[in-house]
């Protein structure tokens, strides 16, 4: 059986220290032969200049196939079009197309309302040049009050021309399988790759999860608390648990795994080592 496709997500560093950390992580994770890596984008232009620079470094210095994330909120057609041209000139063939979230205090909505509008724009303006990934939410997007409407909205992005999807991270495999079944019933056929968040810093994870609507099962939280400052036990437990989740997803038909690395190699590598 062919190995599942693996991809790694990084965020754009802003300081020299962060750049060195990314270089270290990218060099180590490259040994796992990722299909591609991706680099996030700050909505509202906050990392406008950092994402292309980081994509260039991942591509030219590390020799990785790097896919920029592009979020449309707060951006104009001209700005986003310019960035897409820049990515095309760099040789990027894959874009992760998102709506994004406006940072608080930034009121400028931009020319596009939803990710589906951005997907349509990329498809229309660049024909078939880019492979487009979009975001999927097995536990529902945090702003969606209607789970079924959220599924239909996901389908809109695929109908607009997305080639694949990467999910928000989750720790409950059933949510992923149910999501995939539901959207297949709506006629969505593109691959839906689970997003995996290895656990390194539990306090930080809890904060992220509240913001993005990912549920951390109570029993995991309780275990983490009970380990207290026993860092080795926390790491072992977290890696075992996340590796078992990955195995279950792959056994159940997931087409690959996309790791949210947070620019660290160790948590992702220790999950991959357990998966063999």
Which residues here bind ligand FAD, judged by CB under 6 A?
40-41, 43, 69, 71, 96, 98-101, 114-116, 135, 141, 143-144, 150, 153, 156-157, 166, 168, 195
CB of 95 to ligand FAD, least distance (A): 11
| Closest alpha carbon to 268 in 63, 16, 24, 97 | 24
Q: Which long-range contacts (CB under 8 A, 24 or more apart) does 237-240 make?
A: 238/198, 238/199, 238/200, 238/202, 238/267, 239/198, 239/199, 239/267, 239/270, 239/271, 239/274, 240/274
Q: What share of the chain is helix, strand, coil (3-state, %, to 5)?
A: 50, 15, 35
When the beta carbons of 92 and 96 are compared against ligand FAD, the nearer one is 96
| 17 catalytic residue (yes or no) | no
Sign of CA dihedral 209, 210, 216, 222: positive
Q: How far is the CB of 96 from ligand FAD (least distance, A)?
A: 6
> For residues 98 and 242, which CB has a smaller minimum distance to ligand FAD in the complex?
98
Query: Which residue number, 144 or 220, has a Cβ lying nearer to ligand FAD?
Result: 144
Is residue 176 within 8 A of residue 213, CB to CB? The reply is: no
- From the CB of 148, what's the least distance to ligand FAD, in Å? 10
Nearer to ligand FAD, 4 or 227 (CB): 4
Q: Which of 161-190 are b and which e, b meaning 16 or more Cβ less than 10 Å from the residue's Cβ?
A: bbbbbbbbbbbebebbbebbebbeeeebeb
Nearest to ligand FAD of 192, 199 (CB atom): 192
Q: Which of 221, 223, 219, 175 is nearest to 195 (CA)?
A: 175
Task: Report in angstroms how near the CB of residue 87 gets to ligand FAD at its nearest.
Answer: 14
Cα separation, 238 vs 200, whole angstroms: 8
Name the 3-class secondary structure at 258. strand
Q: Which residue, 122 or 224, is less far from ligand FAD as judged by CB?
A: 122
Structure tokens given for 216: 């951390």
263 touches 11 (CB < 8 A): yes
Q: Which two tokens stand for residue 97?
A: 């197309």
Nearest distance from C-beta of residue 38 to ligand FAD, angstroms: 8
> Which 3 state secondary structure label does DSSP give 68?
strand
Exactly one of 9, 56, 120, 133 is catalytic; which is it?
Answer: 9
Catalytic residues: 9
């Amino acid at each position: 059986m062919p190995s599942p496709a693996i991809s790694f997500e990084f965020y754009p560093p802003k300081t020299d220290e962060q750049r060195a950390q990314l270089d270290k992580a990218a060099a180590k994770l490259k040994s796992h032969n990722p299909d591609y890596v991706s680099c996030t984008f700050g909505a509202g232009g906050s990392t406008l200049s950092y994402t292309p620079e980081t994509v260039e470094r991942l591509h030219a210095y590390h020799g990785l196939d790097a896919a920029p994330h592009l979020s449309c909120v707060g951006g104009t057609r001209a700005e986003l079009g310019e960035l897409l041209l820049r990515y095309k000139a760099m040789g990027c063939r894959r874009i992760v197309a998102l709506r994004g979230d406006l940072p608080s205090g930034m009121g400028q909505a931009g020319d596009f309302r939803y990710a589906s509008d951005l997907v349509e724009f990329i498809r229309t303006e660049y024909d078939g040049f880019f492979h487009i990934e979009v975001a999927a939410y097995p536990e529902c997007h945090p702003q969606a009050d209607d789970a079924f409407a959220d599924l239909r909205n996901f389908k809109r992005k695929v109908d607009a021309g997305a080639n694949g999807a990467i999910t928000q991270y989750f720790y409950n495999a059933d949510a992923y399988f149910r999501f995939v079944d539901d959207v297949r019933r709506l006629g969505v056929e593109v691959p839906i790759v689970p997003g995996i968040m290895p656990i390194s810093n539990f306090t930080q994870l809890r904060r992220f999860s509240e913001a993005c609507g990912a549920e951390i099962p109570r029993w995991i939280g309780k275990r983490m608390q009970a380990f207290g400052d026993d860092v080795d036990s926390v790491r072992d437990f977290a890696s075992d648990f996340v590796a078992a989740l990955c195995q279950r997803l792959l056994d159940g038909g997931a087409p690959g795994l996309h790791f949210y690395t947070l620019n660290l190699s160790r948590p992702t590598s220790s999950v991959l080592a357990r998966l063999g």
